[in-house]
Structure 1
Amino acid sequence: MEALVENPRARLSVVPLKQGVPSSSQTPGQESQQPQQLPTHLENQDVSPPAKILYEILIKASPQEVEAALTATRIKPIPEIVGEVLKLLHESPQAAIKFFRWAGIAQKHAAHSWNLMVDMLGKNRMFEPMWDAIRSMKQEGVLSVATFVLVFGSYCAAGRFNEAVMTFDVMEKYGVQPDIVAVNSLLSAICREDKQTSRALEFFERIKTKIAPDADSFTILLEGWQKEGNVAKAKTTFGEMVIRVGWSPQYRDAYDAFLTTLVNGSQVDETTKFLQVMKGKNCLPGLKFFSSAIDILVKKKDSAHAALLWDIMVGSGLAPNLIMYNAMIGLLCNNNDIDNAFRFLDEMVFYGAFPDSLSYNMIFQCLIKNKRVREAGRFFFEMIKNEWPPTHTNCAAAISMFYDRDDPEMAIEVWEYMIKNCIQPLEESANELLIGLSKMDRLTETKRIMETILDMRINIHESTMEKLKTAFYRKGKSAHDTYDSLERKWKSS
């Protein structure tokens, strides 16, 4: 706590520059005439020529030469240039301190420049110089809530949460009245770090009797509970929010966080109850929540609850997008609920979402997996009519299924479509085609298509050749000779 109590020595302390900084072998004038390239991570930044010159001096000059070299440039350190240079030096705090002192000799720093300095020192965990800067800011009359917000963030990022809270507690001693913006900023800084929402709640419970929380306060906590998956705490916080600030469509982020926590916690029935209440208050969440909730339920393979939330969503007038439709179609197909998958495909256009290749291929794959031969055949033609061709993997699986279910004509139809429309790669489908034909003892056709496949330089697997050999050899000497001829051509190719 001692570091946070006001110190009469109100000036920005200067930390000695690190040893080993190379001295410039050029005079300041020469240096500005032959500037070096900015570091790679700064090359794409829009840096003014004066800021670039000052920055190059600061990173090249020795500690003994730097102030003289800066002065020799005759560049006036106006606030805009000071801000640019400090941003460039964000990871070089010793050089930034040197520059800041030098620039402050010519004119007083603007509040923005001071805040950049405080932020830079805090992020580099130079907390003593940071407080020296804050004390100087108090003397200059430029301290504000924004300054303390930066300090909250630096302390919390460093895992020093107690000091962040102490900083809030001493704001008044520095002449800055803590308000709800400061409260929410500290809550947010704490909750940004992993598994710290309970710590934020401790501060919230203590301060809420002095500074009344607003909807943002509760939103921050609810988003923290969402990140941690704490359903019980989320319910308690949400209940208090409703009592303190009531209902409003403007609190949508809070509602999204709370409901998403429930869905993640497998409390979808509870979610639907809250949704009904929210509907009555005209406070239903937006598409963001429903999209997130459906994604969660897709991962859980929970199509029943996903459909329930879907009906609430469309019933409230929200129009799902293509991504959401594909997520639902994929979930239904994975659960082999092909009839409902078709229903979603058919209704998409009424909500302005038009099916794409993924929509069609998921359903086609499901039809193949469930051996629904006639529907798969009809759907194949629908796909190509709508110019959404099946993937090469689905084509291979379809060819295999059509042969297994005694529909060789449809298998050939798929193969010929692949050839005509260059559905690549062809290897898997070609092998399935040959295996299927041989199983049906259509050896003349097998021979003709195999020769075409070899002429096309498509690889025929060794395992496929073994199956063809078995099929040909059991048909007698003539078929035996036919296979041997094909095998020689296969080996030579």
Structure 2
Amino acid sequence: MAAMAEKPRKGANVPPSKHSQKTSSSQSQLPQRSSQTFPSYLDTPNISPGAKKFCEILSKVPVPEIDAELQRTGIPPRSEYVEEVLRHTYGSPAAAVKFFRWAGLATKHTSYSWNLMIDLLGKNQLFEAMWDAIRSMKQEGVLSMATFASVFGSYCAASKIDEAIMTFDVMDRYGIQHDVVAVNSLLSAICREDNQTSKALEFFERIKTKVPPDADTFAILLEGWEKEGNATKAKTTFGEMVIRVGWSPQNMSAYDAFLTTLVRGAQADEAIKFLKVMKGKNCLPGMKFFSNALDILIRQGNSTHAVSLWDIMVDSGLVPNLVMYNAMIGLLCNSNEVDNAFRFLDEMVYYGAFPNSLTYNMIFQCLIKNRRVHEAARFFSEMKKNEFPPTHSNCAAAIKLFFDGDDPELAIDVWMYMVDSCVSPLDESSNMLLIGFRDLGRLKEIRRFVDDMLAMRINIYESTMEKLKTAFYKEGGSERDIYDRIERRWKSS
């Protein structure tokens, strides 16, 4: 505990290196509370009673009085208590250090407790105290790679990338090897931060001749390029990965990151080329990649590459589910590729994905939008047979389509189906039906249906009534009287 004394070394905001070996006896001031927000014992209902008591003291008692208050509890600072307390006092670093020193007088700290303390100090950017603790850990013989992984993360989170790299450079003086695990830990810490993968690459280029990279090394860099959306750098890194470590199904996380970067970067054609190569190497990615990639292409409205990607996925033996089928059918319908949508509808049952109401309504809507009257009529019959009713908006659009396509009887069938099957609301479709009859000059059907609609308390729009009035008044005589009767009933309904 010598290096955790009350007067730690000054100037340790960067790790000690061959360029920085000065010492000072200046007092280190630990803040009472961190500016960051960390979980506390109040957020953890299952904390043990002993640890909870210690946490209450650390959160309420002034730092100078903590030792005495802890002593008065009579609770022994067992290792498990120490670990619990440290996990829940990141927001009170000064109190945590006091508790750690007090507990160390009665029990030997575990390596995990030490690493928690390193992490606590680093996350609070108390780097001088952090290095004091590291030197104490060296004396205790409990330093590990986990210690330095925490230091890398704390420096990088504080935007001190150079200091994290300097830490790597000096860690061998503390008995920790410069191996690929250490390299990957530093690269991971750098790449977690926004727009820092280029810094990670600089370090990688410097160290790769001394410490040969493995598949994880490249996966970390590729995930960094994915995060930044840098497809050009990703292709360069991927090429080097293939040369250095070859092909293996175990490298799937790297492949996923690389391919996703290409897809997201509007280079889906390149991704598909690589997928075909990977298929030959028995290194195709799994469903997670295909699902994510298809989601990206669907958001981009890229039906051509989505279908190509889909075909590779299905040919590789992966089985898509109903959600994926509906997403693809929705994309194809939005792109007015209704024939391709029918292909997906026909094949999905063979993969155990049975269409639902959404599936049918997307295709029905596409047929209506593209004014494919006869196909829409046949598809409407199929929807009725399979008991997947059209939505009320699709019914209204279908009624208009069938009137425009000179098939008013089918328009009537749609409206009657809505009534019989309780597809609601009926307002839009009912108004569309009345206007369709008016356009055809079939006032008799208007009289037939409008009474039923009013009896059903369907809202006939004022604009519709104006159009009906024009049609009835144009005929004059009794037709005019019939409209007046309809209007009186409409106003009173």
Seen in structure 2, the aligned counterparts of structure 1 residues 58 and 41 have a Cα distance that, compared at 3 Å, is closer
- In structure 2, C-alpha distance between the alignment counterparts of 1:7 and 1:174, rounded to whole Å: 18
Aligned to 1:59: 59
Question: What is the deviation of 1:268?
Answer: 3.3
Aligned to 2:30: 15
1:59-78 equivalences in 2 (<5 Å): 59-78=59-78
- In structure 1, C-alpha distance between the alignment counterparts of 2:300 and 2:32, rounded to whole Å: 55
SS at match of 2:441: coil
SS at match of 1:171: helix
Question: What is the deviation of 1:43?
Answer: 4.4
- In structure 2, C-alpha distance between the alignment counterparts of 1:459 and 1:79, rounded to whole Å: 74
- Give the counterpart of 1:4 among 5, 9, 15: 15
Aligned to 2:310: 310
Aligned to 1:378: 378
Aligned to 1:270: 270
Consecutive unaligned residues of structure 2, counting only runs of 5 or more, are 1-10
- In structure 2, C-alpha distance between the alignment counterparts of 1:42 and 1:391, rounded to whole Å: 50
What does the per-residue CA deviation read over 1:424-461, in whole Å, with 9 as the maximum and x for residues that have no partner?
Answer: 33332232233223323333433443333334343333
* Count of residue pairs the alignment pairs up: 473
Question: What is the deviation of 1:233?
Answer: 1.4
SS at match of 1:4: coil
- In structure 1, C-alpha distance between the alignment counterparts of 2:160 and 2:82, rounded to whole Å: 30
Aligned to 2:261: 261
- In structure 2, C-alpha distance between the alignment counterparts of 1:172 and 1:274, rounded to whole Å: 40
What does the per-residue CA deviation read over 1:185-243, in whole Å, with 9 as the maximum and x for residues that have no partner?
Answer: 21111112222111110011111111110001111111222222222211211111111
- In structure 1, C-alpha distance between the alignment counterparts of 2:396 and 2:29, rounded to whole Å: 72
**Is the Cα contact below 8 Å between 2:40 and 2:88 reproduced in 1?**
no
- In structure 1, C-alpha distance between the alignment counterparts of 2:452 and 2:381, rounded to whole Å: 25
What does the per-residue CA deviation read over 1:340-370, in whole Å, with 9 as the maximum and x for residues that have no partner?
Answer: 1101101011122222222211111101101
1:214-293 equivalences in 2 (<5 Å): 214-293=214-293
Seen in structure 2, the aligned counterparts of structure 1 residues 282 and 407 have a Cα distance that, compared at 3 Å, is same
SS at match of 1:150: helix
1:377-396 equivalences in 2 (<5 Å): 377-396=377-396
Seen in structure 2, the aligned counterparts of structure 1 residues 16 and 391 have a Cα distance that, compared at 3 Å, is same
TM-score (norm 2): 0.88
SS at match of 2:30: coil
What does the per-residue CA deviation read over 1:446-479, in whole Å, with 9 as the maximum and x for residues that have no partner?
Answer: 3443333334343333222222222322222322
Aligned to 1:351: 351
SS at match of 1:177: coil
Aligned to 2:8: none
Aligned to 2:90: 90
Letter paired with 1:243:
I
Aligned to 1:193: 193
**Is the Cα contact below 8 Å between 1:368 and 1:401 reproduced in 2?**
yes
Question: What is the deviation of 1:18?
Answer: 5.8
Correspondence 1:116 to 2:131: no
Seen in structure 2, the aligned counterparts of structure 1 residues 424 and 66 have a Cα distance that, compared at 3 Å, is farther
- In structure 2, C-alpha distance between the alignment counterparts of 1:94 and 1:470, rounded to whole Å: 85
Aligned to 1:157: 157
Seen in structure 2, the aligned counterparts of structure 1 residues 195 and 63 have a Cα distance that, compared at 3 Å, is closer
- In structure 1, C-alpha distance between the alignment counterparts of 2:459 and 2:348, rounded to whole Å: 40
Question: What is the deviation of 1:248?
Answer: 0.5
Seen in structure 2, the aligned counterparts of structure 1 residues 266 and 18 have a Cα distance that, compared at 3 Å, is closer
Question: What is the deviation of 1:16?
Answer: 5.3
What does the per-residue CA deviation read over 1:238-258, in whole Å, with 9 as the maximum and x for residues that have no partner?
Answer: 111111101111111111222
**Is the Cα contact below 8 Å between 1:14 and 1:97 reproduced in 2?**
no
Identity %, equivalent residues: 67
**Is the Cα contact below 8 Å between 1:13 and 1:132 reproduced in 2?**
no
What does the per-residue CA deviation read over 1:279-308, in whole Å, with 9 as the maximum and x for residues that have no partner?
Answer: 221112222222233223323333222222
Question: What is the deviation of 1:181?
Answer: 1.6
- In structure 2, C-alpha distance between the alignment counterparts of 1:322 and 1:107, rounded to whole Å: 59
Seen in structure 2, the aligned counterparts of structure 1 residues 268 and 65 have a Cα distance that, compared at 3 Å, is closer
**Is the Cα contact below 8 Å between 2:111 and 2:142 reproduced in 1?**
yes
**Is the Cα contact below 8 Å between 2:93 and 2:120 reproduced in 1?**
yes
**Is the Cα contact below 8 Å between 1:226 and 1:260 reproduced in 2?**
yes
Letter paired with 1:341:
A
Seen in structure 2, the aligned counterparts of structure 1 residues 438 and 207 have a Cα distance that, compared at 3 Å, is same
- In structure 2, C-alpha distance between the alignment counterparts of 1:93 and 1:385, rounded to whole Å: 69
Aligned to 1:136: 136
Seen in structure 2, the aligned counterparts of structure 1 residues 353 and 18 have a Cα distance that, compared at 3 Å, is closer
**Is the Cα contact below 8 Å between 2:33 and 2:91 reproduced in 1?**
no
Seen in structure 2, the aligned counterparts of structure 1 residues 479 and 317 have a Cα distance that, compared at 3 Å, is same
Letter paired with 1:423:
V
- In structure 2, C-alpha distance between the alignment counterparts of 1:136 and 1:226, rounded to whole Å: 39
- In structure 1, C-alpha distance between the alignment counterparts of 2:386 and 2:428, rounded to whole Å: 25
- In structure 2, C-alpha distance between the alignment counterparts of 1:412 and 1:326, rounded to whole Å: 30
Question: What is the deviation of 1:7?
Answer: 8.2
Letter paired with 1:108:
K
What does the per-residue CA deviation read over 1:32-69, in whole Å, with 9 as the maximum and x for residues that have no partner?
Answer: xxxxxxx9994464222222222222222233443332
SS at match of 2:475: coil
Letter paired with 2:210:
K
**Is the Cα contact below 8 Å between 1:329 and 1:344 reproduced in 2?**
yes
TM-score (norm 1): 0.88
- In structure 2, C-alpha distance between the alignment counterparts of 1:102 and 1:56, rounded to whole Å: 16
What does the per-residue CA deviation read over 1:283-334, in whole Å, with 9 as the maximum and x for residues that have no partner?
Answer: 1222222223322332333322222222222222222222322222122212
Seen in structure 2, the aligned counterparts of structure 1 residues 53 and 485 have a Cα distance that, compared at 3 Å, is farther
- In structure 1, C-alpha distance between the alignment counterparts of 2:449 and 2:53, rounded to whole Å: 73
